[in-house]
Structure formats: structure tokens, C-alpha cells
Amino acid sequence: MVLNPVISKLSGKLVVLASASPRRLEILTNVGLRFEVVPSWFKETLDKSSFKAPYEYAIETAKQKALEVAHRMPFKHLKTPDIVIGADTIVTVDGLILEKPVDKQDAYQMLSRLSGKEHSVFTGVAIVLCQDKEGPNTEYKVVDFYEETKVKFADLSENMLWEYINSGEPMDKAGGYGIQALGGMLVEYVHGDFLNVVGFPLNHFCKQLDLIYNSPPNSPEPDLKRKDSDASWTLVNSLSKCSENGETEPHDVNNCEISDTASRTSVQEQNVIGPDCAKCSKENFPHGILDLLDGFKASKTLFAASKLKVFDVLKNPEGLTVEEVAKQIKASTLGTERLLEAAVSLGLLDSVKQGDTVVYKNTEQASQFLVSDSPLSLHGYILHCNDLVWPLFTHLESAVREGTNQYEKAFGKKSENLCQDAYANKEEVQLKFMNAMHNIAKVTGKDVATAFDLSGFKTACDVGGCTGAMASEFTKAHPGLSVTVFDLPPVIEMRSHFQPKEPDDHVSYVAGDFFKDDLPKADLYILARILHDWSDEKVHMLLSKISKACTPGCGVLVSEILLDQERRKPSRALLQALSMTEGRQRSATEYSNLLQEHGFKPVHIKYTDNLLDAMLFMKENQSNEGSPPVAGSA
């Protein structure tokens, strides 16, 4: 069973994995699923003794993880997912549920208990389907299931146990072992789905997707390893009944009367649904508004931790205590403790209790995106938001009244360029701004570059391509493509600060002003985060120049945040527009109309689920001959 039969049904949908597990990420990535990772904040504190069977505990934990993310994203991430996938893996032996060990001694006790025995690995999976309804409400449907795999351990000697424990591998694994790595040497046999033991039952997951998207209407859904009478589908009306305004906590219904339904649901499902009762209807508290009210505090927590280089200090995988972090960032112990605890609550850090001591560690996403020297670091862009964007937005009321940017009020001097004079000197301004743009290009570049088959193009010009990070992603994705980065002379002069150790021979640089100077000749022009910055007059001026430089069959790739046509869904672009730059944000239709005015026909659109979407246009050719072949969106 493969994912291909349903992958087309997921195209263009925002699929979210509510887990930071690198094993689950790898399993789903390897089968071609495009998704975003948003780790759940659900605290795994369910009472194990209240569940009749271990798999029920795993399913409920997975369900709560997925629902927490589904409820949080519209308010914290400003977008509503289409599908959220939650999973929880547990190991059971002798009637005991084993999760991740808290320390080496705990790992030793777990592995000793497994030695020489057969045990079960259960993974509960919840698939939450989110559908916008009229008004602010969202309807949630939950499909959940579990998979069981039997695993037999060899008899383990003390030396083998401690050698494996001291490798460090057991510490983030359910049951204290990773079968896909060194832990495989402990195993005599496996009966069932091997990937289930790794952390995600891919085969069963694919079958459920097939049922969801390919079952004939009104056809009965087969029971797939559900050992109780629960319905496969659970309608979750948490927002429309008990949490209309964005409640993100699981609803407590222990004291509510639950009426009979045509298809009975389990106690766990009833807790998720939030039954329609008098008590619940009174609990109409504006959680969503409060989330927005406190949103600036969460942002500033991220900004402050980045400015103080907390994530750099915590690069040590062993973690550090509050006192150790405070010493390295030269801050008070009290202030550091509160900052670290807030970062943990936001999912930016992990805290681990080691005896009487608590140590703090980077989460996987913090290591990948918040450490300043990580290949995909957003550190520079975060500092740009803190030092430039944040001060501008503190004068938003004036910006709305006047319809102009508030640079003078924020920084005490006029500037036509929003990043000019924000820092100590001009070169520092340019380097910090370039670093912010470099970060965005590194994070978004691969998804933009691979959005379309560009094999028909041989040369490209990245207009306003800054450090060349985006251009390099295009040459990696399309080996036959050479890209010229065209940007202002000071930018080209300082590009050496951002060059990789091994320069890309297929990327070249030309200095110039794309409003005043001739553009380099190319088959394809790349406009990534360019058009939204400028007035309509300047946008038409630039597109007119590109159109004159193009012959029929040449292309233009526009990469921006694409608004939904009705401007109803929360969007980073709409919030970004409040900075009152001379430009404006557009929908895919508006960009299409804009490009068509200059003779470019829209060919493909790709919603990447990254920070930038992509659209491909071709210079119109009435004969349709001589145009390079362009495949559909990836």
C-alpha cells in the first residue's frame, strides 16, 4: 500500500504533523507527503489507569495532541490546517506502559524489564480533518486507529545494557530503545509492522487515507483494528459548542449528561466532542481573543531569547541549568528562569528533570531554526523583526490614521528605506537586513525552487536576489540551470559575507538597479518577495521591463504569500501590510491579472505550506510553439 493514490487529493491542502519526532517526519517525508511540523503542546498527563487497554491510552493521547494543534493554529499561527496528524507510541510489557525514560536509571529499569521477553508496541494515530464553517466556527472530524507490533528481546547482559544506555540513544525513545538504530541489536524478532516500532504505522495510515478520500459515498467503513464499537468518524464540535472562540484545552465533561446517539462513541471521544448541555453552553469564554491579546508576549519571548542567544547557549545536547544559562547570557537567575519557563510553555525549549535538578534543552525545531549558525536558521530574520518591525508596529494606530509608515516616530528620523538608519551605521544596516533576507531565502528556497519542473529553462535571472541563497536552491534543484543574481551594487559587494564554503559555479552576480538599469538576459525571471514591496506604478514599470526582455516562451516565477480571494482567513501577508509600505499584498487571481497585463499567461500555482507560495507564468505565444516544456506543480 503506497500513498500515491491519495497524494493528489492532498495537493494544495495544509497538512500538519503534530509531532516533533524525527522518525515520524522521515517516514512521512519518504513517501512524498508534503506537510508542516507543528509540535503539540498537549501535556501527556492522562491517567493510564483509567484506560481499559493500552491502545486506548495511545489513541487518546494522539487525539489530544492533534486537536490541540488544530485548535491553536488559527490563533497562534494565523492559518487553519486542513488535516492534522497526531501520533503516540508506547511499549507495554507485563501490563505496564513504558514511555520515554527520564534518565539513565529509568532506561536501565525499562530495558531490564524487556530483556528476554516479548512485548507489544502500540502506536495510536489520530487524523483530524478541519473544515471552515460559516462565521468563526470550524468543524472537526476525527479518524483514529492503532497498530500493534510484537517484539522479542534477546537476553541482555549487564555490559550490553549499559553500553547501549551510555550511547544516549534510549533517552528519547518509547520503551528506551530505537529499533532502527543501535537498538536493533537487542531484538530477536519482530511480528508485524516494523515502521510501527520506529514510530508510525505507515501502511495502516495509508489505508485510512484511502478510506477517507476514495470510499464511495454512503459506503460503510470497515473496522480496521478497532476492538471496540467506536464509530470510525467522530464529529468534534468543540469550537461551535463549548469553545466557539478558540478554546485549546481539552473540555472536561465529567459532570455533563450525555444523550444517546445513533452511533455510540467512547468516553474518550465524548470528552473531545464536548456534549451539548446547559452547563457547556454557559462556558462561552473568549479564548481566541485572549490568545490574540497575549500574542505579543509570545512574540517578544521568542525575540528576547534570540537576542540573548539562549538557543545558541543550549546547543549542548546535555542541556544546562538555569544558573548555567544565566551566567552565559549575563542575566539574572530570576529573569532567566522565567524566560526559559515561558519558552518551554511555547514549545521552543524542553525541560528535563534530572534528580533534583532541572535542565533546559533546545527542541528539535529550535536546533534547526533558532540556533544562529544552523543552515536553516531564522535568527537573523527574528532580530530584524525585533529591531525594526516591532518598533514600527508599536505605532500602528498612527499608521492606520495616517496611512503611512511610522519610521520617523519609531526611530526619530525620516527614511525612504525602512531599514535605513535603524542600526549604528549604514554597513551594519545592510548586513543585518541582508542576513534577514538570507534566512528567509534559505528556509523557503527549496520549496520554491522545486515547485515546478523548470527543465525547459537554461538561464534565469533572480531579480533582487540579495545573497544568492535562493538562486543556489534553483541550481541544486535544476542542474541544467544557470542563475544570475541581479541586485544593488552595495548588496553585490557584501555578498561574500554569505557565500557558502563551496561557491556555486552556476550562480553569477550582476550589480544594478532593476528600475533604472537593463536586466540580464534570461529564459526565466524570478521575482521572490519583490512585487509586494512596491507601488503599482513601480510594479508595472518592472514588469514592463521584464516583458520587453522576454521572447515568447520565456517565463516569470513569482513567489509571494498568496492571499485567499475573500481576505477572510488569517494571513501573515495581511498583518505584514500594516507596516504601511508603498506596496500591497495580492491573491493568486490578482497576480494573474497583473502579469497578464504584460503578456504573461499563468501556467501553474503552488501553495507550498512554507512562508512563500509560487506561481509560474509564460510569455504568451499565439502559435504555442517553441515554449519550453513545463510540468505540473510538484
**Which residue's C-alpha cell is 537576542?**
307
- Reported for 285-290, long-range contacts at CB under 8 A and 24+ positions apart, including other chains, are 285/245, 285/247, 286/245, 286/246, 287/243, 287/245, 287/246, 287/247, 287/248, 288/74, 288/75, 288/136, 288/245, 288/246, 288/247, 289/245, 289/246
- Dihedral sign, Cα of residue 35, residue 37, residue 43, residue 45: positive
Phi, psi (rounded to 5 degrees) for 481: -100, 135
Cβ pair 122, 92 in contact under 8 A = yes
Of the residues 88, 291, 350, 447, only one is catalytic, namely 88
Could you give the angle at which helices 588-596 and 536-549 cross, rounded to 10 degrees?
60
In DSSP terms, 139 is beta-bridged to 131
Answer whether 315's CB lies under 8 Å from 371's CB. Answer: yes
CA distance 54 to 48: 8
Return the bridge partners of 125, or none: 87, 145
Residue 558 contacts by C-beta under 8 Å, 6 or more apart in sequence? Answer: 527, 531, 591, 595, 614, 615, 616, 617
Residue for grid cell 491579546: 293
Q: Which backbone phi and psi does 168 adopt, to 5 degrees?
A: 90, -10
307 in helix, strand or coil?
Answer: helix
Active site annotation includes 88: yes
Q: How far apart are CA 445 and CA 451, in angstroms?
A: 10
The answer to whether 507 touches 485, Cβ cutoff 8 Å, is: yes
DSSP-derived secondary structure letter, 587: B
Local structure of residue 385 (DSSP, 8 states)? I
Residue among 196, 200, 154, 197 nearest 177 (CA): 197
Q: Catalytic residues, which ones? A: 88
